[in-house]
Structure 1
Amino acid sequence: MGPNTDTSDLGAVFRSARSALRLTQRQVGALVGYSASAISRIESNRMRVDLDTRLRLARALSIAPERVSGFPGPRTPVIDTVVPPPSPDEEDAMRRRNLLAGALAAGASALVGTGTASGASLEDALFRLPDAEPAPLRTLATRTAAARQAFTDARYGELTAELPGLLAHAEATRETAVGQARRQAHAILARAYVLAAELAAKQHSDTAWVAADRALSAARASGMSVPVGEASRVLAITMRRSGRSAAAVRLLTQEAAALDPTEARTAAVRTTLLLTAAYSAASGRDRTTALTLLDEADEDVRRRPAAPGGLFTVDATQAQVDIYRISVHNALGTPDEGVAVARGLDIGRIPTTERRARAWTDTARMWHALGDGTRTFAALRHVEREAAQEVRRPALRALTTSLLYGPATVSGLREFAVRTGAVPA
């Protein structure tokens, strides 16, 4: 597409690509940091966009860059312009309204509270980070490790308060660093955005798209395969949650195939990608693909039983394979096939709070699908003992409510439902 291409075609290029991917304007806006109304104006050619914005949209919509690079940028005031953007307060307000309208706000605030230590929510911070100066890489690495620990300990309120400042300092450092230091800054930034995406996913917030896309962009810029794999995983999770399970599986399996299975760290990342791909396939009710990928991950772990830790939010261990096997069977509608796995899983030996809570959550879902209210409630109580904030997640509150209003009466359940916010006192 050359420079003389009619600009009236540009909106159609974006609109057709978005439709082919079955994305809403709100979801596309989340990926590139604009409101749904702004995407609508771009698609109808009422907003002319600069090259950087065109390329970001192209990346988000899997469009070849050359298809959009030849269009002229902003020139006259007849059509809205993206650069300079609207005032920060106006644009941020539009973005928040559109991104958060469909999120489960009540569940999100119950999970992590409504703001950070500075008074701004994580959603606000993702759209306009606080001012920050560059920081030494060692300091950033230490802060990122501490944020990771808060996540694995299920201290989500603390993580929510820490992330905006961490992201702001990491962004500032990346902008000023050069050479190898810049690559390292990109890797640190990627991991900070991975945590933001994980946290947003737990909140059922659409801002997970924003954080995951930024994580993968930073990871690719680092040139390091491990951060790329970790960021690909969280992006695929957001894709799956939006109903794009097949696309998530493709992304994950492609990234897994690019990793060296003989090198310990990359092999461990590969295993986690296969596990997430298996669950994504199961969410799309593709039983054959789900079980094939799950068995491949299982075989990888058995070949490498002493897999090192150090991956960011999930480890490649036999216990993780077992947890995913339970969740895969739950998603496939065959929870009975997970019972033997659950009974053989020693959840107490799983090293992190967040993963233990995940194991008990999947066990609760399994027993609930099998109609065993007593065992479901027992598993939910384990989640609460492991991580009180986990049991207040929107998904677990919904499970608690479903159990409460089910056919069986379970002693102590109503008190639990009130305590965890599933029903009003």
Structure 2
Amino acid sequence: MTAEQPTTPGQRVERLRRAAGLSRERLAGLSSLSPTTVKFIENGRRGLTLRAAQQLAPHLGVRDLGELFGPTVALSLDVRPSHPAVDDVRRALTAWHIKIDGDPESPAYLGGAIDAAWQTWHTSRHQRTEAGLVLPGLLDSTQRAARLHEGDDRRTSLALLAQAYHLAQAYLAWHGDREMVWLTVDRGLSAALDSDDPLAIAQSIWYAAHLLRSVGRADEAVERLREARGLVEPRVADGGPEWAEMLADLHLCSALTRARSGDQGAWSDWDAARRVVERALPEGYVGRRTRVSRPLVDVYAVMCAVDLGDPDEAQRRAHALDPASIPSTERRGRHFVELARSADLEGAREATLHLLARAEATSPETVRYSPPARDIAARLAREAPAAIRAEAVELSRRIGASEL
């Protein structure tokens, strides 16, 4: 008589879903996951992450996540790796200066500093380490300028302060305290609103939408993005290219948000972004801060296809996209991670490992701090065929995923 095989987390999800009388589509809608994600969790083609388990549990009647993961799985409450500079950035965000004096930096100087910081973010292979070095000083300088300047200089300084908070959000998103990320979003939006700059306000909503989506509030994110487009769209025809850039970015964010909710309407937002970039932006245009460009639109197409659970479409979209054309090292690394996710959905272990290795070679910190990349690497280390297992284990070790 053989011992009964232990059930997997995915099998437990499926059993509890059926017991609750829920279809995959209904459970996905309640949990703010896509139906494809639920399907792949159940059949083992995607690992059950702690975040997904937390979203599923209330609708499966689960109060102890051990019911999903099983008694042999150890879970850490701190599942995200931390970056060495997080403490310095946290101190800069929570240093409430009651009294500020002296001469503030000029808005022109601060604008140059902000642009240089974003340029470093997009060109360095170790963008989080580089950002962690400059963020504390950048936050202090922009906070001082917003307090000490008056009139138009103050409004400009407030818009730049919002940008400093956006960079802090990008830095903290994958390895900072969730409360600190919320703080950057709230302060960034507050500074933008005080600046009375519609472009700054729209960009702050773009950043807020990313956080809303990540905590399961996709409907709110899509609605806020729609409101932001209302601020921007009337100014596209007569404004500079930054207005068209922002409009395209808002559509791209909405497309990704809808895709991660399993909404095929994501493609209508993606197509709207494509039309804006092709018709309203000069050939070869690249946005300074979020790198809006024709190649980035194609990157988002791959991301949407992966999140909609369509690896064939993801590969078709990626076929004509030269990764070298992506105008950001960080985004190029993330693109390889998305291609690895697509290969993972198809069960192509060798291709998945190859693409993760390319992502790491492009931007080691993007892979080290990316939750999907770490999850895939950890599973490969456990489950890859013997021919590539040693390589998978070594990659998992290098990016710190071996403990997952």
Give the TM bin, normalised by the shorter chain.
0.7 to 0.9
CA shift digits 1:119-159 (9 cap, x unpaired): x4323332225797532323322322222123212421121
SS of residue in 2 equivalent to 1:381: helix
Alpha-carbon distance in 2 for matches of 1:223, 1:256: 16
Question: Are 2:376 and 1:422 equivalent residues in the alignment?
Answer: no
Deviates more, 1:172-181 or 1:260-269: 260-269
Report the TM-score when normalising by structure 1: 0.69
Verify: 1:138 aligned to 2:108, yes or no.
yes
2:261 alignment counterpart: 284
Corresponding residue of 2:294: 318
| 1:308-333 deviation digits (Å, cap 9, x = unpaired) | 75634322222111111111122122
How far is the alpha carbon of 1:242 from its aligned partner? Answer: 0.7
The answer to whether the 8 A contact 2:303-2:338 is kept is yes
Q: Which residue is 1:237 aligned to? A: 210
Match of 1:403 among 380, 393, 397: 380
The letter of the residue matching 2:168 is: A
Moved more, 228-237 or 313-322: 313-322
Counterpart in the other structure of 2:84: 113
Aligned length: 318
Q: What is the DSSP-based 3-state SS (H/G/I as helix, E as strand, rest coil) of the residue aligned with 2:173?
A: helix
Matched residue, 2:90: 123
Q: CA deviation at 1:388?
A: 1.2
Of 266-275 and 346-355, deviating more is 346-355
CA distance in 1, matches of 2:289, 2:138: 17
Residue 164 (str. 1) matches residue 141 (str. 2): no
> Which of residues 216, 224, 241 is equivalent to 2:197?
224
The answer to whether the Cα contact below 8 Å between 2:286 and 2:327 also exists between their aligned partners in 1 is no
8 Å CA contact 2:252, 2:273 repeated in 1: yes
2:76 and 2:204 mapped to 1: Cα distance?
A: 22
Instruction: State whether structure 2 residue 249 is matched by structure 1 residue 272.
Output: yes
Choose the corresponding residue for 1:255, options 216, 225, 228: 228
CA RMSD in angstroms comes to 2.5
- Greater Cα shift, 178-187 or 203-212: 203-212
* Structure 1 counterpart of 2:303: 327
Please list the CA deviations of residues 49-69 of structure 1 after superposition, one character each: whole Å capped at 9, or x if unmatched.
xxxxxxxxxxxxxxxxxxxxx
Matched, 1:373 2:344: no
Q: Give the superposition deviation at 1:163.
A: 1.1
Displacement after TM superposition at 1:174 (Å): 0.7
- Contact 2:378/2:402, CA 8 A, preserved across alignment: yes
Could you say if the C-alpha distance between residues 389 and 329 of structure 1 is closer, same or farther in structure 2, counting changes exceeding 3 Å? Answer: same
1:271 positional shift: 0.3
Answer yes or no: is the 8 Å Cα contact 1:104–1:203 preserved in 2.
no
Could you tell me which residue of structure 1 aligns to residue 69 of structure 2? none
Aligned partner of 2:362 in structure 1 is: 386
SS of the aligned residue for 1:284 comes to coil
* Structure having greater relative contact order (Cα 8 Å, sep ≥ 6): 2
Structure 2 gaps of 5+ residues are: 1-30, 32-74
Separation of aligned partners in 2, 1:254 and 1:389: 34
C-alpha displacement of 1:243: 0.4
For the 8 Å contact 1:252–1:273, the answer to whether it is kept is yes
SS at match of 1:265: helix
Residue 396 of structure 2 aligns with an amino acid whose one-letter code is: A
Find the counterpart in structure 2 of residue 344 from structure 1: 320
Deviation at 1:204, TM superposition (A): 6.0
1:235-276 deviations in Å (ceiling 9; x for gaps): 100000010011101111221132133232111110011001
Structure 2 counterpart of 1:25? none
Which residue in the other structure is 1:57 paired with? none
Contact 1:232-1:252 within 8 A present in 2 as well:
yes
**Residue of structure 2 equivalent to 1:151:** 121
Q: Judging changes above 3 Å, is the alpha-carbon distance between structure 1 residues 228 and 311 closer, same or farther for their aligned structure 2 residues?
A: farther
Call closer, same or farther: CA 1:129–1:362 in 2, change over 3 Å. Answer: farther
**1:187 is aligned with what amino acid?**
A
**Letter of the aligned partner of 1:121 in structure 2?**
D
Determine the C-alpha separation between the residues in 2 that align with 1:280 and 1:140. 32
Pairwise CA distance, 1:346: 0.4
Alpha-carbon distance between aligned partners in 2 of 1:104 and 1:382, rounded to the nearest angstrom: 30
Range 237-246 or range 336-345, more displaced: 336-345
Alpha carbons of structure 1 residues 308 and 228: separation in structure 2 relative to 1, 3 Å? farther
Letter in 2 for 1:360: F
- Counterpart of 1:242, as a letter, is V
Unaligned runs of 5+ in 1: 1-21, 23-101
Kindly provide the amino acid, as one letter, of the partner of residue 239 in structure 1.
L
Return the offset for 1:406: 3.0
Q: Quick one: distance in 1 between partners of 2:76 and 2:271? A: 34
Contact 2:244–2:281 under 8 Å retained in 1: no
Change (3 A) 1:173 1:105: farther
User: Which aligned segments of 4 or more residues in structure 1 are displaced greater than 6 angstroms?
Assistant: none
| 1:137 maps to amino acid | P
